[in-house]
Structures are given as structure tokens and as C-alpha cells.
Amino acid sequence: MKFYISASGIKRVTISSAVAGGGGRGSSSNGGGGGGFWEVMKGKGTAPLGRRLSQRTLLPVVLMLAIILPFLFLRIAFIVLESATICSSSLECMGWRFFGGSDSFPNLREELAKALVEAANLDDKDGGTVVESSPASFKDLVEDVTAHKQDLKAFAFKTKAMMVNMERKIQSARRRESIYWHLASHGVPKGLHCLCLKLAEEYAVNAMARSRLPSPEFVHLLTDSSFHHIVLLTDNVLAASVVISSAVKNSANPGKLVFHIVTDKKTYTSMHAWFAVNSICSAVVEVKGLHQYDWSHKVNVGVREMLRIHHLIWDHNYNNLKEDDFEYEEGNERNLGVLSPSCLSLMNHLRIYLPELFPDLNKIMFLDDDVVVQHDLSSLWEINLHGKVVGAVVDSWCGRECCPGRKYKDYFNFTNPVIASSTLDHDRCGWLYGMNVFDLVAWRKTNITAAYHQWLKLSLNSGLALWRPGALPPALIAFEGHVHPIDPSWHLSGLGYQLPPVPPQILQAAAVLHFSGPAKPWLEIGFPEVSRVRSREEGFAFSLFSLSALYSKRLLFNEQI
């Protein structure tokens, strides 16, 4: 069979077939051999057949176009976008092939990666000028690149310059935040200031506020070695009250506790009035001012010399930090410790004179005024110090020899020849001040206090650059070989710094929480770690309760002053 459609349109359709032996039914002979044909001429009766053949012929064409056209559209769009990015002129883009692109142009992704690597390898010194002139925002970057029709290399360099500039601004902002955060710790809250004024007035007009501490029947307990003697050197009334209240509340036998509070002359009346009016049940409390001590001339000279050198060390470090516009390398935030008021506090440095402060005592426990006690401390008295002078926590909660921020290199300047030539190990963990047990009998047999003063004079003669300001660095040297390590769960220090939070289980297990950082509990920026702990935990509920209750019960004097 032969099927034929004329090229001029469906005007004539011829279907022919050769049948052996004659034509079939409906066929006619055409003069020549035994074949037949139908001839259909365009006419009125041929329209249905032509329409039927047109639909059958166009359907495959339509399906083919439906498949090809989306591909063509996407390919054209890609070529237009890619050529607009890489090509600088329409003539340059003529070389692009419709389907395969042009081998003369590198792939856009490879070109961009190459530009970024080149920008990343650019030396900071070479790119300093570029960084200073970098766009201020992403919008400015886009406008700059599109307006000047810059290539990928220029785009990569400008992007790096913009990011470097922003990173510098972020680092500077973080340093400023740390500085302002430390400066905020210098201020005395209005409520605490008013409390001292109100208590001083109470001491003047109220005879009960001037009553003897402790009562005459308990005076003999102040030197009784069978009792547990706890010493605080502080000029903060609220802090002292929190320490004593928390220690008494969590003590298994509060009747065995004797607290010795030593304060300065200006705070003595306020401190005395507070504990005279608000007596502590069961425990014995003594409040004594430095002006009430009858020290020898040698001790008085030593104390004045000690304070003078500590002031000079503080001035030296503070001026260096100020000359650098309070800039410091990232990770050295502890350099801001020179801004802490405790670096210049007499009460902070006076602990080196504990044997002279308590000549009639053999053993004491020392607590800083920025601690909260949440477990019983009585078993500390049973610890055998093995002839050592002080029992202190050395290893940190994060593991043996972890001591984050408390290694000797964090306190001493090992670039100084005096420190470098000493036997000090820069990776050694420093023991913690703030919660210690002191054997005063063993102390009196050593030259610890004299060694402390010798190192102070050596620092003075060595340019005041042996260590950072504070009472602990010279004490680390003076107590060398006289420290007995105790379990880390007794003393959790480092709270009050902008550091990652301590795990809740570690906070709960610690007997003493020490807010050694600038964020003291009595400040607006204070105790962020405790505030995040669930209030239903007994120890921390009391910590928060004691701070808030003491502040609200009798400290609401703001409206009266």
C-alpha cells in the first residue's frame, strides 16, 4: 500500500494497493495491470476526512513543542543571566553557543571561587586601604558593584573589606561592653548606700544598736578553740549579712559557729548597728573595727607599705590600659581586673595579717564577703592539713588541672626576667582565695608574711610589672609549699564573670558559691548564674530569698532619704 499526501495541501489523497489476481471489492481498473486506486479531489464531500487527518498529524507536533519549549526558555534565561554577569559587551557574548556555552569563558562558579580565595589570601596590610574604603552595608555594596560594572574579583575584595570592617566594629563593641560592665561594678547601689546612712543614724540614736557584740555571757567563746571560728574582712553590711545568714541556715550545728567580722572605721557603726538590732539565732557574732586594734609600730608600718605598693601596681597597670584606650586582645578580658575596686581595698589585702588579727585563735575558716553558703561547712574542721598552713581548692570543677583562667600565667608576667627566672610554672593551677581553712599555729612558725612583703618590694624595684593587681598573686608566691588541696566541691569560684554558665548540677553540689567576678550579688548586673537556676532548687531558692528578703525587709529607705 502507498500513502501519499500532496505538498500543496490536502487537496488530493491517493491510496493504492496491488492485489494479485484482480481488484478487491470497491476497486476499479485503470486500464493498466491489475491494480486499483481511489482518487479523492477536494470538494464538498472531503472535509471530514481532511480534518481527521490534520488532527492526527498535528498532535505529535504539539506534544514535541510542549517538551522542547520549557527547555528552550530556561536555557535562554540562563544564557542571558550568565552572559550579563561575565560579559562586558554584547560583542563579547557573541561567542556563546546556544546549548553548550563557550570554552573561552570560565565557569561562573569557578571564577567566583577563585576570586574569593584570592581575596582571602590578601595580606591585611595590603588590604588596609581597601578595608577603610569598604562599603558600609550590603546595599552600598550592591550599588557600588552594579554602578561601576565591576568584575567578580572586585566584588570579592569589596565583600571581604566590608566583612573585616564589620568584624572590627563588633570586636570593639564587645571590648567596650566589657569595660562598661566592669565600670558598673564600681558603683554602690542607692539602697546599699542608704542602708549604711540609716544604720549609722540608728547607731547614734538607738541604745540597742550600740549594745555590746557579742553579749557579755558569750565573750569567752571568742577564743574557745572547741568552736568553729569564721572570719570575714568586709565593709559591706548586706554582703556580710548574707554570708552569715546562709552559713547559719545550712549548718548542721549553728550553735558551734562564732563569726568574727573585721571592718574599717567608716563602716563600723553601720555594721555594729545591723547585727546588734538583727541578732543571729544560735550563732555568736563579733564586730570589730580596725581602729580598735592595738597593733605594734612594725605592723602599722608594714600595712601602710603594703597598701602603698599595691596602689602603685594598680596605677601602673591602669595607666597602661588607659594609654591603649582600654583596648586589649580578645581572650584577655581579665586584664580589666585592674578596674575592680577590690584591688585597692584594705580589707582585701589585710588577710595576710590574719595571725596578727587573731592572736588567740589556732584555727579559722576565712570567707570572702561575696560568697553564699548553701551546704554545711562543719566537716571542713575535720580535714587534716598535714602540717600545711592553708587548705584551699586547687583543681576546678571542669576536671583535674583544668582551672580555666586560674593558671599562674593568668596572674604573673612571665616575660619579666624576675618571674621567668623563678621556679614558678606558668601552667600550674593557682589555689583559690575566698573560702579557706587556715592553721594559724603553723602559719606563725613560717615566714609567709615576711616573704609576702619581700616580693612586694621586689615588684616595686622591678618596674611594678611582675603580676597583675590583686591580693592573690603575691600570696601565691608567699604560700608556696604551704597549701593543702581540698575537694573542689567545697568552693565554686569564678561566678560573676561573662563566661559560659556552670552546669546546674555543679552549682547545686558546691558548698560555697563565690561571686569573684564584677557581677556581685548586690549589684544590678549581679548573679546571672543563680538567676538562671530553677527556683525550686532548695539551695538556690535560699540564695535568691536571702538576697531579696534582706534587701526588702529593712532596706527600703529610698523614700526616706
What's the confidence (pLDDT) of residue 323? 76
Location of C-alpha cell 604560700: 479
Q: What is the mean pLDDT of residues 319-345?
A: 71
Split at pLDDT 50, 70, 90, the class of 57 is low
Q: What grid cell was written down for 398? A: 571542669
Residue 109: pLDDT above 80?
no
Residue 556: pLDDT above 50?
no
Split at pLDDT 50, 70, 90, the class of 22 is very low
What's the confidence (pLDDT) of residue 40? 42
Residue 461: pLDDT above 70?
yes
What's the confidence (pLDDT) of residue 371? 92
The model's pLDDT over 166-216, given as tens digits with 9 standing for 90+, comes to 888 887 787 777 777 777 777 777 777 888 899 999 999 999 999 999 999
What's the confidence (pLDDT) of residue 402? 72
The model's pLDDT over 484-507, given as tens digits with 9 standing for 90+, comes to 999 989 999 888 876 666 788 888
Location of C-alpha cell 481527521: 52
Torsion, Cα of 101, 102, 103, 107 (10° steps): -60
Q: Give whole-number Cα distances, 350 to 248, 263, 302, 520, in Å.
A: 25, 10, 11, 21
- Sequence length of the chain is 561
- Quick check: 547 and 246 in contact, CB under 8 A? no
Q: Which helix (H) or strand (E) holds 189?
A: none
Residue 142: pLDDT above 80?
no
Split at pLDDT 50, 70, 90, the class of 123 is low
What's the confidence (pLDDT) of residue 83? 54
127 vs 533 pLDDT, higher one: 127
Residue 332: pLDDT above 90?
no
Burial annotation 67-100 (CB, 10 A radius, 16+ → b, else e): eeeeeeeeeeeebeebbeebbeeeeebeebeeee
Inter-residue long-range contacts of 312-320, CB under 8 Å, 24+ positions, other chains counted:
312/460, 312/464, 313/459, 313/464, 313/467, 313/469, 314/338, 314/343, 314/344, 314/469, 316/463, 316/464, 316/465, 317/464, 317/468, 317/469
- Three-class SS state of 557: coil
Shortest CA distance to 247 belongs to which of 88, 373, 100, 126? Answer: 373
Global confidence as pTM? 0.70
The model's pLDDT over 264-283, given as tens digits with 9 standing for 90+, comes to 999 999 999 999 998 888 89
Tell me what the pLDDT averaged over the chain comes to: 77
Q: What is the 3-state secondary structure (H, E, C) of 54-105?
A: HHHHHHHHHHHHHHHHHHHHHHHHHHHHHHHHHCCCCCHHHHCCCCCCCCCC
Q: Are strands 363-367 and 435-439 parallel, antiparallel or unpaired?
A: antiparallel
Split at pLDDT 50, 70, 90, the class of 130 is low
